[in-house]
Structure 1
């Protein structure tokens, strides 16, 4: 059973290495991931119904961790798809306002329905004493007042709280995504970089090349002694070079699994600099 679960996790990992949720690809790639995750969730259901669990410990692990990892990402990519298909087409004030509104809604929903709940505190503190009630099937207290989704779920493949964990995972992922999409920091960096006036300073190499450079600068701690996050550095470079980099984290994650050299741009840059130095002395 563990080998089967690991295969599912590897398939998700491999698929996400190909995902870049920037403005050009977000709709198609979020749709593709949602379809894949739905298929994997169905495979998990078939496995559970045909093979079952060896003991209660395996059942708890499945409903606390394994199923929510798949279901939470399914909810996340489906939400991204819905958000992206409803957004304004072009960058600008309407675009910025749209994503800021989405972020505000997420924060309000989190405060109202998630963060104040007893279960949220239990899950975040990694408590385990109630796991046999929360993450095994058929143990529900109707006196607590159940949310309607429970009555639509499959009792053989669900506990009430595995869905709650999935929603927590969805919220965490969506929060990071909407932070990437909002542009408060981007507007601030435009002000700081206004000394360029009307002069256009554009990045003319590939997006991956710039992302490679950004991560190299962060790794060497030469910007703010390494205390400035990747996202803020990326926003500064986006504003400086008039470019939208999209999801830099996923782009960098794919670089780590490149065949051959993983730092192609930096090696090319080093070679070009040395050639330029040699030319200067000629």
Structure 2
């Protein structure tokens, strides 16, 4: 396999972590990830068209998992870039309404075009009995009334349904992104919003929480460092009922602080030392 799935996923995650640390805003990160993924997809396409596949299993794996992992992320970052660059405000009611509108559009698209389709149920159930039909070149059935963009795809690098999988992956990432942009308190269906956890909330500054999130990510303490800042941020926002807007800009401002750049982490250590001393006395 010239493009093993685990290597593709690992390379994308490495680039995400690198750009997350280097870029000054999420807009910049989304743009650079879009460029990176476009180039990666182009390179993989040239290789596939030039060399083909060694067997049917390799071909089906490529179009069911490998290509969709690249294209799905590309769909996500490109959409995020477009949403972010058109955002009308930094916060406030207009800001919340803007992202809520995009979330409604995404949910409507999901209900109308995705969740009720036979292919979506097939893919979600983990079935493999129709993989040869869905994920091998040359099997596009135009009699099924497929979306019109099927006529624009390259038949040497798409089975049509690989795009469907990519769209599912991309939309799920966009959904997560949009829910983190909207105040968790305005999301009644979001995780952990119930009576048992209503007394759990963040009481320090937002910058302190951002500092903690980056420290946990940098140390590899969560999922061995294999998930990104935004996903960790989403969990903390949901858990502590706090809205963190542009955490990247906040983090980059921390890097230029005078004196200690890790004020909250330093405070945590001091507080824990004091607590241990009290326990011993």
Structure 1 and Structure 2 fold alike (TM over 0.5): yes
Tell me the residue number matched to 1:234.
Answer: 237
Deviation at 1:158, TM superposition (A): 0.6
Deviation at 1:148, TM superposition (A): 1.6
Distance 2:239 2:53 in 1: 50
Tell me the residue number matched to 2:268.
Answer: 269
Deviation at 1:33, TM superposition (A): 0.4
Alignment of 1:210-229 (within 5 A): none
Distance 1:156 1:178, change over 3 A: same
Distance 1:57 1:118, change over 3 A: same
Distance 1:56 1:33, change over 3 A: same
> Is 2:17 the counterpart of 1:17?
yes
Deviation at 1:61, TM superposition (A): 0.4
Distance 1:143 1:2 in 2: 34
Tell me the residue number matched to 2:95.
Answer: 95
> Is 2:179 the counterpart of 1:166?
no
Deviation at 1:266, TM superposition (A): 5.6
Count of aligned pairs: 243
Deviation at 1:90, TM superposition (A): 2.1
Tell me the residue number matched to 1:8.
Answer: 8
Distance 2:216 2:263 in 1: 10
Tell me the residue number matched to 2:81.
Answer: 81
Deviation at 1:110, TM superposition (A): 0.2
Tell me the residue number matched to 1:226.
Answer: none
Gaps of 5+ in 1: 194-199, 220-228, 252-262
Distance 2:207 2:174 in 1: 31
TM-score (norm 1): 0.73
Q: Secondary structure at the match of 2:18?
A: coil
Distance 1:236 1:131 in 2: 39
Distance 1:137 1:152 in 2: 15
Distance 1:183 1:20, change over 3 A: farther
Q: Secondary structure at the match of 1:208?
A: helix
Deviation at 1:275, TM superposition (A): 5.5
Distance 1:266 1:106, change over 3 A: same
Deviation at 1:16, TM superposition (A): 1.5
Deviation at 1:47, TM superposition (A): 1.0
Q: Secondary structure at the match of 1:136?
A: coil
Q: CA RMSD in A?
A: 3.8
Distance 1:35 1:233 in 2: 29
Tell me the residue number matched to 2:139.
Answer: 139
Gaps of 5+ in 2: 223-231, 252-261
Distance 1:230 1:81 in 2: 19
Q: Secondary structure at the match of 2:110?
A: helix
> Is 2:207 the counterpart of 1:208?
no
Deviation at 1:202, TM superposition (A): 3.6
Distance 2:134 2:95 in 1: 41
Distance 1:62 1:276, change over 3 A: closer
Tell me the residue number matched to 1:39.
Answer: 39
Distance 1:116 1:204, change over 3 A: closer
Distance 1:62 1:268, change over 3 A: same
Distance 1:19 1:114, change over 3 A: farther
Distance 1:207 1:96, change over 3 A: same
